Chains A and B, each alone.
Chain A
Amino acid sequence: MAEYVIIGNGTAAVGCIEGIRSIDSEGAITVISSEEHHVYSRPLISYLLEGKTDLERMKYRPADFYEKNKVNVVYGKAAKIDTKKQVAVLEGKGKFGYDKLCMCTGSSPFVPPFEGLDKVKAKYSFMTLDDALALEKALTDKSRVLIVGAGLIGLKCAEGIAERVGSITVCDLADRVLSSILDAECAAYMQKELESHGVSFMLGDTAVKFDKNKAYMKSGSEVEFDILVLAVGVRAETELAKQAGCDANRGIIIDTKMQTTSANIYAAGDCAEGYDSSIGANRVLAILPNAYMQGRCAGINMAGGSSEMTDSIPMNSIGFFGLHCATAGAYPEDGEIYEERTDKGIKRLYFKDSKLAGYMLIGDVNRAGIYTSLVREKTVLDEEETEKVKKMPSLAIFSNDKRKTKLGGVV
């Protein structure tokens, strides 16, 4: 009977378990979880603070998930992987032999070495359920909150606590919000929405020094706060893998079958650097759908099946206060950019080499998945089809035969 060890207990781990079980219903699966929680949806922590979900509902899989899948969950931290003996060693909790092992270690917050940070008492990260619960305890309706970082994590945190605190200031060195996924104009649009809900911004500016409840900004201004949230960025957790002989750049390097450079070790999720078809190179795609799919792909391969992922692309669906934003793919500036602006949002499509390379939608995200599929599948569009695509995402873009197969068959 095969033995599988999965390090980590997040989305990629669930994917891995389900991948293994789709092939091998008997093998022993051990999950080593550093967080003492049933697997939960990490991106839901902001919704938890917002009151849109609760601890029970935010479980990523039902309570009987481990039992049903015959998974042995061990709460603890893996100290080392002995690749020769094929054993995962836990800090003080013994060893687990494996035939195949999967790194699902995710990422952890990156905290720059701010001067005086150690003297700030109420400082929080916003990555884990424990982070969120700790932050929640500290919140009062008078709290002045400073969030360092205007990326997805910082802004979701701001949305989550907006109704529960006195004031929120978000600062970021970048000159715009969500700089990793939006251009200046789209970012400004989203920023306006956040501002209309009481979030204030200091962009192109960041804290350089802290003194208890005060932040000294690069621009020279000072911000007083009661609670500091550090959401500057994340780093893939690669240490353990490196130790086990896996090559890593920003993330653990994997091939399209999720295999690392070390024998019998796979990696999936935010810790891994897999193939991004939108740029044709390896990159960490720290998004949940990718984590699940990589995990599942790894699991299938670990159990002796065959699976490959060659069409991963960056994509995001994110909303603040009901204003939605969907993005996918790449945004080449040297192709055709189609743009539509209404009072309800923005639509921007990036075409290159007769293909839809990427898009940004703000406001109306209906049927965005049709655009995503064109990006993912690199569908070649003739002139007429390009015009159709611009008008709206529609299956009309496909030839009659293709559409008939899609709608008239089992897919």
Chain B
Amino acid sequence: MKRVFVNEEWCLGCHLCEYNCAYANSGLSDMVKALKGKDIFPRIHIEESEGITYAVSCRHCKDPLCVKSCIAGAISIEDGTVKIDKTKCVGCLTCVLVCPYGAVAAGPEGAAQKCELCLANSCGSPACVKGCPNNAIVYEER
């Protein structure tokens, strides 16, 4: 299965991935309209420390703790992709409590959200990958 991988050697810490992610998942066709003046809730985030930067998003673990821990049974694996059923999620954030990557977070309405590879939104393939100016984020089989 293709996954999003980050080569931190090439990550510039520009944070474009966060904005591209928030835009791709906004459902809007204009980035300015989608993001201007708003708090953004990207499903990928940049971590920085001592000159190293890298993007972190859901690893789509083979044996995911979030799936096992979800108190609502809202997280499941579909064709290898770990997905959150927002209608079932009650926002308890147990998934946030257990994800060892810090890749799940509360969305704007309180329900948990995470990278679902842009497979279901209008982007069709990960927006962070498409928009990364230095090919630091790749979408491939490993």
Contacts and interface: CB of A to CB of B under 8 A. Distances in A.
B70 to A, nearest CB: 8
Interface in B91-111: 91-102, 104-106, 110
B97 A394 contact: no
Interface string B60-74: 011001001101110
Contact of B71 (A44, A61, A388): A44
B100 to A, nearest CB: 4
Contacts of A47: 90
Contact of B97 (A43, A292, A372): A372
Given A53-B88, A408-B7, A396 B47 contact: yes
B110 A322 contact: yes
Interface in A353-411: 365-370, 372-373, 388, 393-396, 400, 403-404, 406-411
A292 B8 contact: no
B132 interface: no
A59 B85 CA distance: 12
Interface stretch (A139-147, A206-214, A226-234, A310-318): A310-318
B102 A43 contact: no
Interface residues of B, number: 41
A197 interface: no
B101 A369 contact: yes
B49 A289 contact: no
A402 to B, nearest CB: 12
A406 B99 CA distance: 13
Nearest to A40: B73
Contacts, number: 130
B6 interface: yes
A57 B59 CA distance: 26
B142 A396 contact: no
Contacts of A319: 91-93
Given A395-B101, A411-B61, 14 more contacts: A58-B72, A58-B88, A317-B94, A318-B92, A328-B97, A366-B96, A368-B97, A369-B96, A369-B100, A369-B102, A372-B97, A395-B54, A408-B142, A411-B59
22 contacts: A41-B72, A43-B71, A44-B71, A44-B72, A53-B90, A57-B87, A57-B88, A292-B69, A317-B96, A324-B93, A326-B96, A366-B102, A366-B105, A369-B95, A370-B100, A393-B102, A394-B49, A400-B52, A403-B54, A409-B142, A410-B62, A411-B61
